[in-house]
Amino acid sequence: MDRTPPAPNAATITLDGVGKTYEDGTVAVGSLSLEVSAGELVALIGPSGCGKSTILRMINRLIEPTSGRVLLDGHDITAANAVDLRRKIGYVIQHVGLFPHQTIAANVATVPRLLGWSKQRIQDRVDELLNLVGLEPDRYRKRYPNELSGGQRQRIGVARALAADPAALLMDEPFSAVDPIVRVRLQDEFLRLQRTVRKTIVLVTHDLDEAVRLADRVAVLSQHGRLEQYATPVELLREPANAFVREFIGSDRGIKRLSVTPIDVKRLASVDSVGDRVGGGPTVPADSNLADALAALLDGGRGWVAVTDPEHCGVLGILTATAIAETGAA
């Protein structure tokens, strides 16, 4: 979990027995209780129809709960005006939902404009956010959504959701509408962004790899929003709580666990163990994960991978396949 302090206004989100039953008797969510700490990114994951998106929409009252409470920093959200509440909570959806006839700057400025910000403050905020999501303001400010790629539009969607510095950010499968290569790049950009802004984020995804890669904690849900397990990615992959979670995660959870386990430099073997053969052999920087190390080891064909200091480029030690397996299983 990232230990960077949360944003000053990041809010804790508490779901206290929250449920949604429709008039025809359909139970979308039975009773769900969990807490998302300030500055934490929590992923909701589960099979289709388990209520993930309904839960997300109850947090900003796009759907009104029929039971239980949603608390924002301890305050019941039903006591607030719904429109005012939504202006305090950023919302990013799968297909972005940018206004096609407005410029990128105007799209990003939507909520600040509604809040009555001055033109100069809005312009400064738009430029700040475009830089933050990796899009040069002078180049993109006056463009329209149809002039951007899918990945660029998704970045603009995130910038718009962050425009008024919300207390929390809700994301409903935000990266699923782009191809796999762009998706990974967007995830990388989003991780970088979250390390900077440290917002409280609730992310709905159907992709377990995405959940364990991005989230501080993962909530695995079954039918009617039943919480089967709520844990860090490492805990989830190491110790599934029950048969449902084991089946949902799949038989390859050992490989997935490697992707969320960092290299422990304290457990590296000495360079002397492979003599003078390090030169030209496979290497990975010390801030990589064990999955990266294993991939480099297999590609290198030498039975080991050298771990380097990412800043000074020196070799810190050696990882073998056995060491990777033992560390990943620990």
Q: Are residues 196 and 277 in the same domain?
A: no
Q: Are residues 190 and 291 in the same domain?
A: no
Q: Are residues 253 and 143 in the same domain?
A: yes
C-alpha to C-alpha distance for 257 and 329, rounded to whole angstroms = 8
Q: End of a domain among 208, 230, 258?
A: 258
Tell me, what's the pLDDT at 260? 76
Q: Return the C-alpha torsion angle 283, 288, 291, 297, nearest 10.
A: 10
C-alpha to C-alpha distance for 70 and 57, rounded to whole angstroms = 11
Q: Are residues 269 and 149 in the same domain?
A: no
Tell me, what's the pLDDT at 196? 87
Q: Are residues 71 and 205 in the same domain?
A: yes
In a domain, 306, yes or no: yes
Strands laid side by side in the 315-320 sheet? 283-285, 304-308, 315-320
Q: End of a domain among 227, 242, 258?
A: 258
Q: Are residues 73 and 58 in the same domain?
A: yes
Q: Are residues 231 and 285 in the same domain?
A: no
In a domain, 129, yes or no: yes
* DSSP secondary structure of 34-90: EEE-TT-EEEEE-STTSSHHHHHHHHTTSS--SEEEEEETTEEGGGS-HHHHHHHEE
Q: Are residues 174 and 191 in the same domain?
A: yes
Most confident of 218-222, 248-252, 266-270, 317-321: 218-222
In a domain, 26, yes or no: yes
Q: Return the C-alpha torsion angle 207, 30, 17, 20, nearest 10.
A: 90
Q: Are residues 192 and 269 in the same domain?
A: no
C-alpha to C-alpha distance for 49 and 224, rounded to whole angstroms = 8
Tell me, what's the pLDDT at 273? 61
pLDDT confidence bin for 226, thresholds 50/70/90: very high
In a domain, 102, yes or no: yes
Structure tokens at 104: 């990128």
Tell me, what's the pLDDT at 258? 77
CATH classification of the domain holding 319: 3.10.580.10
On the question of pLDDT at 316 being above 90, the answer is no
Lowest mean pLDDT across 6-10, 142-146, 225-229: 6-10
In a domain, 35, yes or no: yes
Q: Are residues 17 and 55 in the same domain?
A: yes
In a domain, 3, yes or no: no
Q: End of a domain among 208, 235, 258?
A: 258
In a domain, 237, yes or no: yes
pLDDT confidence bin for 3, thresholds 50/70/90: low
- The count of domains in the chain is 2
Q: Are residues 168 and 297 in the same domain?
A: no
Chain segment 166-177, per-residue pLDDT in tens: 989 999 988 876
- The CA–CA distances, whole Å, from 191 to 13, 194, 320 equal 21, 5, 29
pLDDT confidence bin for 184, thresholds 50/70/90: confident
Quote the pTM value: 0.80
Chain segment 78-134, per-residue pLDDT in tens: 888 888 888 889 998 876 688 999 999 999 999 899 889 999 999 999 999 999 888
Q: Are residues 135 and 165 in the same domain?
A: yes
In a domain, 23, yes or no: yes
Q: What is the overall mean pLDDT for the chain?
A: 86
Structural domain containing residue 298:
265-329
